Amino acid sequence: MLRIALLLIMTLGAGAQDRTGTIQVRVSTDRADWRYSPGQPVKFHIVAVQDGHALEGVKVAYKIGPEMVAPQIEATATLAAGGLTVDGGTMKDAGFLRCIATVEANGKTYRGLATAAFDPERIQPTQKDPADFDAFWSAAKAALAKIPMDARLTPLPEYGNAGAACFHLNLQNVGMSAAPSRFYGVLCEPKAPGKYPALLSVPGAGVRPYRGLAELAAKGVITLQVGIHGIPVILDQSVYDSLGAGALANYNTFGMDQRDRYYYKRVYLGCLRANDFLVSHPKWDGSTLAVTGGSQGGALSIVVAGLDPRVKALAAYYPALSDVSGYLEGRAGGWPHMFRATEGPLAHRSNDKIETTRYYDVVNFARRVKVPGLYSWGFNDETCPPTSMFSAYNVIPGGKHLLLALETGHNQVPEQTALVNAWLEEFLKTGVAK
């Protein structure tokens, strides 16, 4: 045994070691607040880091230009020990200028970015406000009101806790034909007797199950977390995976050629139907109703607040479906980027589809939001570009506060989430948005 051990040491080398690790590509602006005025130059600093130390002698490729459109600068360079500083140019108008840097190593591509803001509060939407927008949605709401709610509740004891009872809820909603559809969610309510505020939680994009917000309900809030696809929300994950890859793939563009058949018409009205249920709940306090969500859910939060006067506050993370027409004007548009492609199967630039989006774009609901709201996103978001989100935010007439987590992309950091949750819970507790 000793001889075998000695042979192994001789073969492998005593103490032989290899190293591997993730490389981080970090890009930053030359201003700590990432903000510039039109005409002011931007410098971007690029560094690649491994094991806490900057790499040198590594090739980096970088692209600089307005977010989500063709870059104005493309170049490669070799990183020095202290990184690389490059001139990013400037912008003539309000908007965002982005630097994306990549490093190839270990057979992988490592990527980082930073986005400079030029007077973002002056960004205005490209999306037009149809003259009959309010009439269209008033008629849609009237049609919904004629359909009985027909609420059906199934207990979900395994979803609850000591302070909250949970139920699978399904409600009758408008359909895509003459027949009604159903709208599903998980209701969580405080077990203790009393009157409570209510919160509607609307979902991000995709197809998935939900478990409800039992922890918040135990604190004294009636919560309803909904899905949007007209299918139960407590099935096995494999069901949603199959639907997401099959029948519901690209659902966000279904029916775009007809404004009365676009997929989101049933979705928007379903969220109002969820509010119909919440305000009819015997434990509701009769006045306090809020809505919250992120991405598609951020969009739905603004839509619901714009359509439903019963909503008294909203908290929206990085809202999608905002100023989707931006690409038609040569700048970034919002998710799902249906107008980004100019040709091919992903191109939707027909007049009828463009017209349909005017009735569903978050910008046009934002114009009608009069209640207090907390909004939060980052400058590096590539799913919901900040140009699109500011297009909606800047036209909101109601009380609004923007919480920026500058470096984030399409995600939240714990500090950001904690502040938004605290704001929302304070409103639900007091009925006053600060």
Residues taking part in catalysis: 295, 381, 410
> How far is Cα 265 from Cα 175, in angstroms, rounded to an integer?
9
Q: How many Å separate Cα 7 from the centre of its chain?
A: 59
State the residue for tokens 């589809």: 353
How far out from the chain centre does Cα 385 lie? 10
Residue 349 has, within 13 A of its CA and on its CB side, a CA count of: 13
Residue 361, phi then psi, degrees to nearest 5: -70, 135
Instruction: Determine the distance from the C-alpha atom of residue 119 to the mean position of all C-alpha atoms in its chain, rounded to a whole number.
Output: 22
Chain centroid to CA 411: how far? Answer: 8
The phi-psi region of residue 431 (left if phi > 0; otherwise alpha if psi is between -120 and 50; otherwise beta) is left
**Sheet hosting strand 222-226, strand order edge to edge:** 152-155, 164-173, 181-190, 222-226, 196-201, 284-294, 313-317, 373-377, 400-404
Q: How far apart are CA 3 and CA 427, in angstroms?
A: 74
